[in-house]
Amino acid sequence: MNSHRSPAVARLRRARWLMTGLVTIITATTVLVLGCVAATIDSHARTIEADRQVEKVAGGLARAIQHDEKNTLDLSTVIDDELAQGGTGVVVLVREQGQPWKQTHTYQRSLMPADSELSTLATQVEDNSEGTLYKSLLRKSTAITGRPVTVSGTPVYWTDWDNIVVILAADDAMDNPDDHLMLVWALLIGGTLLVLAATAVAYLLSGRSQRQALHMLDEHEQFLGDAAHELRTPLTTLKLLTESRPKPDEVQQTLAEARKLADRMARLVTGLLARARMQTGIAEPERTMLRLDQLAEAVAEEAADDRIVVTAHPSVVVGDPQLLSLAIRNMLENGLTHGAVNRAAPVEIHIAEGRVSVRDHGPGVDPVMSASPFNRGSAGRTGRNGIGLALVAWVAQAHGGNAAIEPAVGGGTIATLWLPPADITVGVPAR
């Protein structure tokens, strides 16, 4: 059973994508709003600066323009003025009473609107001034090149001359538009990168936050799969026993076999629950100083099989009696199962110095599973793929020891569980 395909994992993955999508949407919205605000503020500031610049040019040149004694307009002061030599377009228009506007000087003509619109703008400047000297008028327009521009007009009057002069200054509607465009591109690229980074971080963090949940789901699925697999055979056998309708003289034997099956199922469930609880961090193995030789002898007596031969030497370890009993029992059942090819051959248990070895005289280690005999799901010649040996390896690791299976000299297999011997003076495992 693969928990990564389970509906619960699929829901967690959908939740992960949902959280990532929400973070992406929120980040993108925030970046978009802030980017629009920044671009708008910059555009407004540049527009104000452009307006100020054209008003400065128009107003400054209007104060510099003069006429001579012959009532001839003197444009030398305008032409030589620094304001009329920069990047701002300038047009000087003159109109006599009842006559149309005439252009007497132009500079940067490409920044100015068409001639007809220049006349219209000059008239608007005159009407807006209402006879007031140097009263400027600001208008948005389009240059003859099609680019948007800001035009400022300032009128000039004389008491001793009836002509009216209007100075028009024009420049881009935004100060340094290329810089503004670069800012917009920088905001766009930077915002995109920020959104992508936020998406990646959200995906990684959400996955990290779900890692423990996925691990627990995996343990849950593994527990259910192991329980279903391991309990299927004893449950089927128990069902057959209860449906066999034994004869009166066979009732006691049937009940005894049923009790053995129930005990086996109880041990399986106990082992699976203990492993699941400890692997998820819910519980910790008990640490008790115990005699490993006595524990192994008790397990051998419970097995009640005439083929079992026990050789025990005093051995003190620190561990969980229940888990160690489970591991030894699984090793013994594995030896009895694989040693069944020769009913006369013994299954030998040797205990010494924190080591429990179980030897059978069966066909030996299957080459198929010799590389990983303790892996859950490894199958040997019998085709069984239970978790008995996997539990042995897990119990050994939980106690700081190890487990091994190797061929025995003369045939058969030796399964070994090794635990660190205890330091009797302090009651802890010796280094």
Q: What is the pLDDT of residues 187-206, one digit of tens each?
A: 999 999 999 999 999 999 88
Q: What is the pLDDT of residue 356?
A: 93
- The pTM is what? 0.54
Q: What is the pLDDT of residues 370-418, one digit of tens each?
A: 555 666 544 444 444 456 787 888 888 888 899 988 888 878 889 999 9
Q: What is the pLDDT of residues 354-372, one digit of tens each?
A: 899 999 888 877 655 555 5
More confident residue, 414 or 305: 414
Q: What is the pLDDT of residue 252?
A: 79
pLDDT surpasses 50 at 249: yes
Q: What is the pLDDT of residues 75-128, one digit of tens each?
A: 888 888 888 888 899 999 998 877 889 998 899 889 899 988 999 999 999 888
Q: What is the pLDDT of residues 23-79, one digit of tens each?
A: 999 999 999 999 999 999 999 999 999 999 999 999 888 888 887 777 777 788 888
Average pLDDT over all residues of the chain: 82
Q: What is the 3-state secondary structure (H, E, C) of the chain?
A: CCHHHCHHHHHHHHHHHHHHHHHHHHHHHHHHHHHHHHHHHHHHHHHHHHHHHHHHHHHHHHHHCEECCCCCEECHHHHHCHHHHCCCEEEEEEECCCCCCEEEEEECHHHCCCHHHHHHHHHHHHHHHCCCCCCCEEEEEECCCCCEEEEEEEEEEECCEEEEEEEEEEEECCCCHHHHHHHHHHHHHHHHHHHHHHHHHHHHHHHHHHHHHHHHHHHHHHHHHHHHHHHHHHHHHHHHHHHCCCCHHHHHHHHHHHHHHHHHHHHHHHHHHHHHHHHCCCCCCCCEEEEHHHHHHHHHHHHCCCCEEEEECCCEEEECHHHHHHHHHHHHHHHHHHHHHCCCCCEEEEEECCEEEEEECCCCCCCCCCCCCCCCCCCCCCCCCCCHHHHHHHHHHHCCCEEEEEECCCCCEEEEEECCEEECCCCEECC
- Domains in the chain (CATH in brackets) are 1-210 (3.30.450), 285-429 (3.30.565.10)
Q: What is the pLDDT of residues 340-352, one digit of tens each?
A: 667 778 889 999 9
